[in-house]
Amino acid sequence: MPDSEICRMSAAQLAQKIRAKQLSPTEVIDAVLTRMDQLEPTIHAFCTPTPELARAEAMRIEQAIAKGEEVGPLAGVPVGIKDLVCTEGIKTVSGSFAYENFVPDEDDVVVERLKAADAIIIGKTNVPEFGYSGAGHNPVFPTTCNPWNVERTSGGSSAGSAAAVASGMAPFAIASDGGGSVRIPAAHCGIVGMKASMGRVPLYPGTKDERYPGVSSWESIEHIGPNARTVEDAALMLSVIGSGPDARDRHSLPGPEFDWNTCFKDTNLKGLRVAYSADWGYAAVDPEVRRIVGDAVKVFESELGCHVEQAHPGFDDPYAGFWGLVAAESDLAGMRRMTAEFGDRMTPHLVDFINNDWSAEDLTNAVVTRKAVNNKMWRFMQNYDFLLTPTLAVPPFALHTQGPEKIDGRIGPPFAWLAFTFPFNMTGQPAATVPAGFTEDGLPVGLQIAGGHLADPMVLRAAAAFEAARPWADKWPPLDALLK
Protein backbone atom coordinates (compact mmCIF):
# COMPACT_ATOMS: atom_id res chain seq x y z
CA MET A 1 0.00 0.00 0.00
CA PRO A 2 1.42 3.46 -0.86
CA ASP A 3 2.82 5.44 2.06
CA SER A 4 0.58 8.39 1.16
CA GLU A 5 -2.52 6.24 1.56
CA ILE A 6 -1.38 4.94 4.94
CA CYS A 7 -0.64 8.45 6.19
CA ARG A 8 -4.14 9.61 5.23
CA MET A 9 -5.85 6.88 7.24
CA SER A 10 -7.51 7.61 10.53
CA ALA A 11 -6.28 6.03 13.74
CA ALA A 12 -9.44 3.91 13.85
CA GLN A 13 -8.81 2.63 10.32
CA LEU A 14 -5.18 1.84 11.07
CA ALA A 15 -6.07 -0.04 14.25
CA GLN A 16 -8.66 -2.11 12.39
CA LYS A 17 -6.40 -2.94 9.45
CA ILE A 18 -3.45 -3.86 11.67
CA ARG A 19 -5.62 -6.11 13.79
CA ALA A 20 -7.01 -7.75 10.62
CA LYS A 21 -3.42 -8.21 9.32
CA GLN A 22 -4.18 -6.07 6.26
CA LEU A 23 -1.37 -3.74 7.35
CA SER A 24 1.65 -4.47 9.49
CA PRO A 25 2.85 -2.18 12.28
CA THR A 26 6.27 -1.89 10.63
CA GLU A 27 4.63 -0.86 7.34
CA VAL A 28 2.68 1.86 9.11
CA ILE A 29 5.65 3.15 11.09
CA ASP A 30 7.89 3.18 8.04
CA ALA A 31 5.25 5.22 6.18
CA VAL A 32 4.88 7.91 8.85
CA LEU A 33 8.63 8.12 9.47
CA THR A 34 9.21 8.61 5.74
CA ARG A 35 6.65 11.39 5.73
CA MET A 36 8.34 12.87 8.79
CA ASP A 37 11.67 12.89 6.93
CA GLN A 38 10.02 14.74 4.05
CA LEU A 39 8.05 17.33 6.03
CA GLU A 40 10.03 18.00 9.20
CA PRO A 41 12.65 20.23 7.58
CA THR A 42 9.80 22.68 6.92
CA ILE A 43 7.05 21.98 9.49
CA HIS A 44 9.14 21.30 12.63
CA ALA A 45 6.33 19.51 14.44
CA PHE A 46 8.64 17.10 16.28
CA CYS A 47 11.36 18.42 18.56
CA THR A 48 12.55 14.94 19.57
CA PRO A 49 11.69 12.24 17.02
CA THR A 50 12.10 8.64 18.22
CA PRO A 51 12.39 6.55 15.03
CA GLU A 52 14.55 3.77 16.47
CA LEU A 53 12.23 3.24 19.43
CA ALA A 54 9.21 3.33 17.13
CA ARG A 55 10.63 0.72 14.77
CA ALA A 56 11.57 -1.57 17.65
CA GLU A 57 8.10 -1.30 19.15
CA ALA A 58 6.48 -1.91 15.75
CA MET A 59 8.49 -5.11 15.37
CA ARG A 60 7.49 -6.27 18.87
CA ILE A 61 3.80 -5.73 18.16
CA GLU A 62 4.06 -7.30 14.72
CA GLN A 63 5.58 -10.44 16.20
CA ALA A 64 2.91 -10.57 18.90
CA ILE A 65 0.15 -10.38 16.27
CA ALA A 66 1.83 -13.07 14.18
CA LYS A 67 1.91 -15.36 17.23
CA GLY A 68 -1.77 -14.76 17.91
CA GLU A 69 -1.08 -12.99 21.19
CA GLU A 70 -3.53 -10.48 22.63
CA VAL A 71 -2.67 -6.88 21.75
CA GLY A 72 -4.14 -3.56 22.81
CA PRO A 73 -6.85 -1.56 21.03
CA LEU A 74 -4.29 0.83 19.52
CA ALA A 75 -1.80 -1.85 18.48
CA GLY A 76 0.61 -0.43 15.91
CA VAL A 77 -1.02 3.01 15.71
CA PRO A 78 1.49 5.91 15.70
CA VAL A 79 1.08 8.72 18.22
CA GLY A 80 2.94 11.94 18.96
CA ILE A 81 3.40 13.06 22.57
CA LYS A 82 3.47 16.74 23.49
CA ASP A 83 6.81 17.78 24.94
CA LEU A 84 5.27 18.96 28.21
CA VAL A 85 4.12 15.39 28.90
CA CYS A 86 6.66 13.16 30.63
CA THR A 87 8.06 10.17 28.76
CA GLU A 88 10.34 7.76 30.57
CA GLY A 89 13.73 7.58 28.86
CA ILE A 90 12.81 10.22 26.24
CA LYS A 91 13.81 13.85 26.67
CA THR A 92 11.08 16.23 27.81
CA VAL A 93 12.60 19.63 27.10
CA SER A 94 9.43 21.73 27.36
CA GLY A 95 10.93 24.26 24.96
CA SER A 96 13.39 25.55 27.58
CA PHE A 97 17.16 25.57 27.92
CA ALA A 98 16.57 24.92 31.64
CA TYR A 99 15.28 21.45 30.68
CA GLU A 100 17.47 20.90 27.62
CA ASN A 101 18.82 17.59 28.95
CA PHE A 102 15.92 16.51 31.17
CA VAL A 103 15.00 12.83 30.75
CA PRO A 104 12.08 11.79 32.99
CA ASP A 105 12.32 8.61 35.04
CA GLU A 106 8.60 7.91 34.69
CA ASP A 107 5.79 8.24 32.19
CA ASP A 108 2.80 10.50 32.49
CA VAL A 109 -0.42 8.58 33.21
CA VAL A 110 -1.65 9.10 29.64
CA VAL A 111 1.62 7.77 28.22
CA GLU A 112 1.36 4.69 30.44
CA ARG A 113 -2.15 4.10 29.12
CA LEU A 114 -1.21 4.60 25.47
CA LYS A 115 1.69 2.18 25.84
CA ALA A 116 -0.57 -0.36 27.52
CA ALA A 117 -2.90 -0.04 24.51
CA ASP A 118 0.13 -0.76 22.25
CA ALA A 119 0.18 2.61 20.54
CA ILE A 120 3.62 3.47 19.17
CA ILE A 121 5.29 6.74 20.19
CA ILE A 122 7.02 8.33 17.19
CA GLY A 123 8.37 11.38 19.00
CA LYS A 124 7.83 14.41 21.20
CA THR A 125 6.00 17.36 19.64
CA ASN A 126 7.11 20.96 19.87
CA VAL A 127 5.77 23.52 22.36
CA PRO A 128 6.31 27.14 23.44
CA GLU A 129 8.42 27.40 26.57
CA PHE A 130 6.62 25.50 29.35
CA GLY A 131 3.34 26.01 27.48
CA TYR A 132 2.88 29.63 28.55
CA SER A 133 1.70 30.76 25.11
CA GLY A 134 -0.87 30.11 22.41
CA ALA A 135 1.79 30.26 19.68
CA GLY A 136 4.39 27.69 18.66
CA HIS A 137 7.92 29.02 19.08
CA ASN A 138 10.52 28.55 21.81
CA PRO A 139 14.22 29.36 22.40
CA VAL A 140 15.52 25.78 21.87
CA PHE A 141 13.99 24.28 18.73
CA PRO A 142 12.99 25.52 15.27
CA THR A 143 9.54 27.10 15.18
CA THR A 144 6.58 24.90 14.30
CA CYS A 145 4.84 26.13 11.14
CA ASN A 146 1.23 25.78 10.08
CA PRO A 147 0.89 23.12 7.35
CA TRP A 148 -1.75 25.25 5.62
CA ASN A 149 0.67 28.16 5.29
CA VAL A 150 4.20 27.75 6.63
CA GLU A 151 4.50 31.48 7.23
CA ARG A 152 1.72 31.29 9.85
CA THR A 153 1.62 29.89 13.36
CA SER A 154 0.14 26.47 14.07
CA GLY A 155 -1.05 27.79 17.42
CA GLY A 156 -0.03 26.43 20.80
CA SER A 157 0.85 25.33 23.19
CA SER A 158 0.32 21.91 21.55
CA ALA A 159 1.91 23.40 18.44
CA GLY A 160 3.66 20.31 17.12
CA SER A 161 0.86 17.90 17.97
CA ALA A 162 -1.68 19.69 15.79
CA ALA A 163 0.80 20.31 12.96
CA ALA A 164 1.83 16.65 12.95
CA VAL A 165 -1.78 15.47 12.69
CA ALA A 166 -2.80 18.07 10.11
CA SER A 167 0.14 17.14 7.87
CA GLY A 168 -0.33 13.37 8.15
CA MET A 169 2.77 12.59 10.19
CA ALA A 170 0.58 11.07 12.90
CA PRO A 171 -3.10 10.11 12.90
CA PHE A 172 -3.47 11.58 16.36
CA ALA A 173 -1.34 13.10 19.10
CA ILE A 174 -1.42 13.95 22.78
CA ALA A 175 -2.09 17.62 23.55
CA SER A 176 -2.63 19.43 26.83
CA ASP A 177 -4.85 22.37 27.65
CA GLY A 178 -4.39 24.84 30.49
CA GLY A 179 -6.11 27.73 28.70
CA GLY A 180 -7.05 26.26 25.34
CA SER A 181 -3.93 24.44 24.20
CA VAL A 182 -5.70 21.33 22.89
CA ARG A 183 -8.20 23.49 21.01
CA ILE A 184 -6.07 26.45 19.87
CA PRO A 185 -3.70 24.58 17.53
CA ALA A 186 -6.43 22.19 16.42
CA ALA A 187 -8.49 25.18 15.26
CA HIS A 188 -5.52 26.82 13.55
CA CYS A 189 -4.60 23.56 11.80
CA GLY A 190 -8.08 22.48 10.71
CA ILE A 191 -8.46 19.36 12.87
CA VAL A 192 -10.38 18.14 15.95
CA GLY A 193 -9.31 18.90 19.52
CA MET A 194 -11.20 17.73 22.59
CA LYS A 195 -10.78 18.90 26.18
CA ALA A 196 -12.85 16.44 28.17
CA SER A 197 -14.40 17.39 31.50
CA MET A 198 -11.88 18.07 34.21
CA GLY A 199 -10.95 14.78 35.88
CA ARG A 200 -11.89 12.50 32.99
CA VAL A 201 -8.21 12.20 32.03
CA PRO A 202 -5.83 11.90 35.01
CA LEU A 203 -2.85 14.27 35.14
CA TYR A 204 0.52 13.22 36.53
CA PRO A 205 3.30 14.25 36.85
CA GLY A 206 3.63 17.23 34.51
CA THR A 207 7.12 18.59 33.96
CA LYS A 208 9.19 17.93 37.05
CA ASP A 209 12.79 18.31 38.10
CA GLU A 210 14.41 18.51 41.53
CA ARG A 211 15.59 22.07 40.75
CA TYR A 212 12.30 23.51 39.49
CA PRO A 213 9.44 21.17 40.48
CA GLY A 214 5.92 21.67 39.24
CA VAL A 215 6.72 24.09 36.42
CA SER A 216 3.89 23.21 34.05
CA SER A 217 1.34 21.49 36.27
CA TRP A 218 -1.57 23.91 36.48
CA GLU A 219 -3.48 21.43 38.60
CA SER A 220 -6.92 23.04 38.74
CA ILE A 221 -7.16 24.21 35.11
CA GLU A 222 -5.09 21.80 33.02
CA HIS A 223 -6.46 18.97 30.90
CA ILE A 224 -4.86 16.42 28.56
CA GLY A 225 -6.66 15.37 25.39
CA PRO A 226 -6.40 14.40 21.75
CA ASN A 227 -5.57 16.25 18.59
CA ALA A 228 -7.09 14.14 15.81
CA ARG A 229 -8.43 14.32 12.28
CA THR A 230 -11.88 12.93 13.10
CA VAL A 231 -14.33 12.88 15.98
CA GLU A 232 -14.09 9.08 15.99
CA ASP A 233 -10.32 9.24 16.49
CA ALA A 234 -10.65 11.78 19.30
CA ALA A 235 -13.11 9.47 21.04
CA LEU A 236 -10.84 6.48 20.43
CA MET A 237 -7.93 8.16 22.19
CA LEU A 238 -10.18 9.28 25.03
CA SER A 239 -11.37 5.70 25.48
CA VAL A 240 -7.77 4.81 26.38
CA ILE A 241 -6.53 7.86 28.30
CA GLY A 242 -9.89 8.68 29.91
CA SER A 243 -10.69 5.18 31.14
CA GLY A 244 -10.97 5.96 34.85
CA PRO A 245 -9.29 7.42 37.92
CA ASP A 246 -5.68 7.32 39.03
CA ALA A 247 -4.60 7.78 42.64
CA ARG A 248 -1.86 10.17 41.56
CA ASP A 249 -4.47 12.73 40.49
CA ARG A 250 -6.76 13.72 43.35
CA HIS A 251 -9.16 15.36 40.88
CA SER A 252 -9.59 12.28 38.67
CA LEU A 253 -13.11 10.95 38.23
CA PRO A 254 -14.50 7.41 38.37
CA GLY A 255 -14.68 5.58 35.07
CA PRO A 256 -17.15 7.10 32.61
CA GLU A 257 -20.77 6.02 32.71
CA PHE A 258 -20.72 5.87 28.91
CA ASP A 259 -18.61 4.28 26.16
CA TRP A 260 -16.33 6.83 24.50
CA ASN A 261 -16.34 4.77 21.30
CA THR A 262 -20.11 4.73 20.84
CA CYS A 263 -21.49 7.76 22.72
CA PHE A 264 -21.15 10.03 19.67
CA LYS A 265 -22.91 7.78 17.18
CA ASP A 266 -26.42 9.14 17.84
CA THR A 267 -26.13 12.21 15.61
CA ASN A 268 -29.84 13.04 15.72
CA LEU A 269 -29.86 16.49 17.33
CA LYS A 270 -33.37 17.45 16.26
CA GLY A 271 -35.10 19.61 18.85
CA LEU A 272 -32.04 20.21 21.02
CA ARG A 273 -31.60 23.66 22.54
CA VAL A 274 -28.39 25.38 21.46
CA ALA A 275 -26.87 28.68 22.53
CA TYR A 276 -24.59 30.62 20.20
CA SER A 277 -22.34 33.34 21.56
CA ALA A 278 -20.39 35.08 18.82
CA ASP A 279 -18.34 37.25 21.19
CA TRP A 280 -19.34 36.62 24.86
CA GLY A 281 -20.86 40.10 24.67
CA TYR A 282 -17.45 41.76 25.07
CA ALA A 283 -14.72 40.11 22.93
CA ALA A 284 -13.25 41.54 19.72
CA VAL A 285 -13.61 39.03 16.87
CA ASP A 286 -12.13 39.13 13.38
CA PRO A 287 -14.98 39.75 10.91
CA GLU A 288 -14.03 36.80 8.71
CA VAL A 289 -14.01 34.46 11.72
CA ARG A 290 -17.40 35.81 12.78
CA ARG A 291 -18.81 35.14 9.29
CA ILE A 292 -17.38 31.62 8.94
CA VAL A 293 -18.47 30.50 12.40
CA GLY A 294 -21.87 32.12 11.93
CA ASP A 295 -22.36 30.09 8.75
CA ALA A 296 -21.36 26.91 10.59
CA VAL A 297 -23.85 27.63 13.37
CA LYS A 298 -26.64 27.91 10.77
CA VAL A 299 -26.04 24.25 9.90
CA PHE A 300 -27.21 23.24 13.38
CA GLU A 301 -30.53 24.96 12.78
CA SER A 302 -31.20 24.49 9.08
CA GLU A 303 -29.85 20.96 8.62
CA LEU A 304 -29.58 19.36 12.07
CA GLY A 305 -32.90 20.60 13.43
CA CYS A 306 -31.66 22.35 16.57
CA HIS A 307 -33.27 25.37 18.16
CA VAL A 308 -30.43 27.90 18.10
CA GLU A 309 -30.57 31.07 20.18
CA GLN A 310 -27.99 33.84 20.31
CA ALA A 311 -27.19 34.30 23.98
CA HIS A 312 -24.28 35.03 26.33
CA PRO A 313 -23.61 33.51 29.78
CA GLY A 314 -23.21 37.04 31.14
CA PHE A 315 -19.87 36.92 32.93
CA ASP A 316 -17.42 39.82 32.79
CA ASP A 317 -14.17 39.35 30.91
CA PRO A 318 -12.15 36.98 33.18
CA TYR A 319 -8.79 37.61 31.43
CA ALA A 320 -6.97 38.96 34.50
CA GLY A 321 -8.47 36.30 36.73
CA PHE A 322 -7.32 33.52 34.44
CA TRP A 323 -3.71 34.70 34.51
CA GLY A 324 -3.94 35.01 38.27
CA LEU A 325 -4.89 31.33 38.40
CA VAL A 326 -1.93 30.46 36.19
CA ALA A 327 0.36 32.35 38.58
CA ALA A 328 -1.17 30.61 41.59
CA GLU A 329 -0.71 27.21 39.94
CA SER A 330 2.91 27.88 38.93
CA ASP A 331 5.95 27.28 41.12
CA LEU A 332 6.97 30.93 41.10
CA ALA A 333 9.81 30.42 43.59
CA GLY A 334 11.38 27.69 41.49
CA MET A 335 10.77 29.52 38.24
CA ARG A 336 12.34 32.70 39.64
CA ARG A 337 15.46 30.69 40.46
CA MET A 338 15.32 29.50 36.87
CA THR A 339 15.12 33.00 35.45
CA ALA A 340 18.11 34.02 37.56
CA GLU A 341 20.12 31.27 35.87
CA PHE A 342 18.61 31.12 32.36
CA GLY A 343 16.65 34.35 31.98
CA ASP A 344 18.71 35.71 29.09
CA ARG A 345 17.86 32.55 27.13
CA MET A 346 14.17 32.38 28.06
CA THR A 347 11.06 33.71 26.31
CA PRO A 348 10.75 37.39 27.31
CA HIS A 349 7.01 37.42 28.08
CA LEU A 350 7.45 34.32 30.27
CA VAL A 351 10.26 35.98 32.24
CA ASP A 352 8.06 39.04 32.73
CA PHE A 353 5.18 36.85 33.90
CA ILE A 354 7.35 34.96 36.39
CA ASN A 355 8.95 38.10 37.82
CA ASN A 356 5.73 40.10 37.99
CA ASP A 357 4.97 41.41 41.46
CA TRP A 358 1.96 39.17 42.08
CA SER A 359 0.03 40.24 45.17
CA ALA A 360 -2.13 38.13 47.44
CA GLU A 361 -5.11 40.11 46.15
CA ASP A 362 -4.24 39.19 42.55
CA LEU A 363 -4.36 35.52 43.44
CA THR A 364 -7.47 35.62 45.62
CA ASN A 365 -9.25 37.80 43.04
CA ALA A 366 -8.51 35.07 40.50
CA VAL A 367 -10.24 32.48 42.67
CA VAL A 368 -13.24 34.78 43.15
CA THR A 369 -13.37 35.40 39.37
CA ARG A 370 -13.41 31.67 38.68
CA LYS A 371 -16.32 31.20 41.06
CA ALA A 372 -18.23 34.00 39.34
CA VAL A 373 -17.62 32.56 35.86
CA ASN A 374 -18.64 29.09 36.98
CA ASN A 375 -21.83 30.31 38.64
CA LYS A 376 -22.84 32.28 35.55
CA MET A 377 -22.05 29.33 33.31
CA TRP A 378 -23.84 26.54 35.14
CA ARG A 379 -26.98 28.62 35.43
CA PHE A 380 -26.77 29.51 31.74
CA MET A 381 -26.28 25.88 30.69
CA GLN A 382 -29.48 24.82 32.49
CA ASN A 383 -31.34 26.22 29.48
CA TYR A 384 -29.25 24.62 26.72
CA ASP A 385 -27.97 21.24 25.60
CA PHE A 386 -24.73 22.73 24.32
CA LEU A 387 -23.07 26.05 23.52
CA LEU A 388 -21.37 27.17 20.29
CA THR A 389 -18.71 29.87 19.95
CA PRO A 390 -15.77 30.61 17.70
CA THR A 391 -12.78 28.65 18.99
CA LEU A 392 -10.46 31.61 18.45
CA ALA A 393 -11.06 35.27 17.70
CA VAL A 394 -8.60 35.34 14.78
CA PRO A 395 -7.30 33.10 11.97
CA PRO A 396 -3.67 31.86 12.07
CA PHE A 397 -1.30 34.82 12.25
CA ALA A 398 2.38 35.41 11.48
CA LEU A 399 5.13 33.38 13.13
CA HIS A 400 7.09 34.68 16.13
CA THR A 401 4.36 36.85 17.59
CA GLN A 402 2.10 36.14 20.56
CA GLY A 403 -0.97 37.28 18.68
CA PRO A 404 -2.38 40.29 16.84
CA GLU A 405 -2.24 43.58 18.70
CA LYS A 406 -5.50 44.72 17.11
CA ILE A 407 -8.64 42.67 16.40
CA ASP A 408 -11.49 44.20 14.40
CA GLY A 409 -10.07 47.65 15.05
CA ARG A 410 -9.73 47.17 18.81
CA ILE A 411 -6.38 47.09 20.63
CA GLY A 412 -6.26 44.58 23.44
CA PRO A 413 -3.89 42.53 25.62
CA PRO A 414 -1.52 40.03 23.91
CA PHE A 415 -3.71 36.97 24.39
CA ALA A 416 -7.13 38.57 23.86
CA TRP A 417 -7.56 36.29 20.82
CA LEU A 418 -7.97 33.36 23.28
CA ALA A 419 -11.14 34.85 24.77
CA PHE A 420 -13.26 31.78 23.95
CA THR A 421 -11.01 28.99 25.22
CA PHE A 422 -9.78 29.74 28.73
CA PRO A 423 -13.19 30.25 30.42
CA PHE A 424 -13.82 26.52 29.98
CA ASN A 425 -10.58 25.74 31.82
CA MET A 426 -11.91 27.85 34.67
CA THR A 427 -15.20 25.90 34.75
CA GLY A 428 -13.86 22.45 33.81
CA GLN A 429 -16.59 21.90 31.22
CA PRO A 430 -16.00 19.68 28.20
CA ALA A 431 -15.19 21.60 25.04
CA ALA A 432 -14.10 20.61 21.56
CA THR A 433 -13.08 22.41 18.40
CA VAL A 434 -14.01 21.21 14.92
CA PRO A 435 -13.20 22.76 11.53
CA ALA A 436 -15.81 25.40 10.67
CA GLY A 437 -14.40 26.47 7.31
CA PHE A 438 -11.61 28.42 5.68
CA THR A 439 -10.77 32.07 5.16
CA GLU A 440 -10.41 33.51 1.68
CA ASP A 441 -6.66 32.92 2.10
CA GLY A 442 -7.25 29.22 2.75
CA LEU A 443 -6.60 29.28 6.51
CA PRO A 444 -8.65 27.09 8.89
CA VAL A 445 -11.17 28.51 11.36
CA GLY A 446 -12.54 26.49 14.27
CA LEU A 447 -16.00 26.13 15.79
CA GLN A 448 -16.04 25.45 19.54
CA ILE A 449 -18.69 23.15 21.02
CA ALA A 450 -19.05 23.16 24.81
CA GLY A 451 -21.30 21.04 26.99
CA GLY A 452 -22.64 21.33 30.50
CA HIS A 453 -21.02 19.77 33.55
CA LEU A 454 -19.72 16.27 32.64
CA ALA A 455 -21.67 16.31 29.36
CA ASP A 456 -18.82 14.88 27.26
CA PRO A 457 -21.09 12.61 25.18
CA MET A 458 -23.21 15.60 24.14
CA VAL A 459 -20.13 17.48 22.92
CA LEU A 460 -19.00 14.47 20.88
CA ARG A 461 -22.51 13.93 19.48
CA ALA A 462 -22.75 17.53 18.34
CA ALA A 463 -19.25 17.39 16.85
CA ALA A 464 -20.02 14.16 15.01
CA ALA A 465 -23.30 15.54 13.67
CA PHE A 466 -21.57 18.61 12.30
CA GLU A 467 -18.79 16.44 10.86
CA ALA A 468 -21.39 14.38 9.01
CA ALA A 469 -23.06 17.53 7.68
CA ARG A 470 -19.82 19.29 6.72
CA PRO A 471 -17.07 16.63 6.35
CA TRP A 472 -13.47 17.79 6.62
CA ALA A 473 -11.29 14.65 6.80
CA ASP A 474 -10.64 14.72 3.05
CA LYS A 475 -9.30 18.29 3.18
CA TRP A 476 -5.49 18.35 3.34
CA PRO A 477 -2.93 21.15 3.42
CA PRO A 478 -1.07 21.91 0.17
CA LEU A 479 2.05 19.84 0.92
CA ASP A 480 2.76 18.22 -2.47
CA ALA A 481 5.89 20.27 -3.07
CA LEU A 482 7.37 18.94 0.19
CA LEU A 483 6.42 15.28 -0.42
CA LYS A 484 9.11 14.27 -2.89
> pLDDT tens digits, residue range 260-277?
999 999 999 999 999 999
pLDDT at 214 over 70: no
Mean pLDDT of 297-307: 98
For the segment 404-433, the average pLDDT, to the nearest whole number, is 97
303 pLDDT higher than 90 = yes
Task: Report, as an integer, the average pLDDT of 365-384.
Answer: 98
Distance of CA 123 to the CA centre of its chain: 16
Q: Categorise residue 476: left if φ over 0, alpha if ψ from -120 to 50, beta otherwise.
A: beta
Which value, to the nearest 10 degrees, does the dihedral of the CA atoms of residues 441, 187, 6, 78 take? Answer: 150
- Active site annotation includes 243: no
- Whole-number pLDDT of residue 208: 74
Residue 216 has pLDDT above 90, yes or no: no
pLDDT value of position 207: 75
Q: Catalytic pick from 10, 17, 24, 82?
A: 82
Superfamily holding 3-482: Amidase signature (AS) domain (3.90.1300.10)
What average pLDDT score do residues 273-284 get? 98
Q: Is 82 a catalytic residue?
A: yes
Task: Please report the pLDDT score of residue 3 as a whole number.
Answer: 87
Mean pLDDT of 169-197: 98
Report residue 484's pLDDT band, with 50, 70 and 90 as the boundaries.
confident
> Is the pTM higher than 0.95?
yes
Domain chopping of the chain, boundaries:
3-482
What would the pLDDT profile of 70-126 be if each residue is shown by its tens digit? 999 999 999 999 999 999 999 999 999 999 999 999 999 999 999 999 999 999 999
Q: Which of 133, 181, 216, 330 is catalytic?
A: 181
**What's the pLDDT tens digit per position in 23-48?**
999 999 999 999 999 999 999 999 99
157 is catalytic: yes
Q: Indicate if the pLDDT at residue 162 is higher than 80.
A: yes
Return the pLDDT at 248: 94
Catalytic residue among 10, 94, 96, 157: 157
pLDDT tens digits, 421-473: 999 999 999 999 999 999 999 999 999 999 999 999 999 999 999 999 999 99
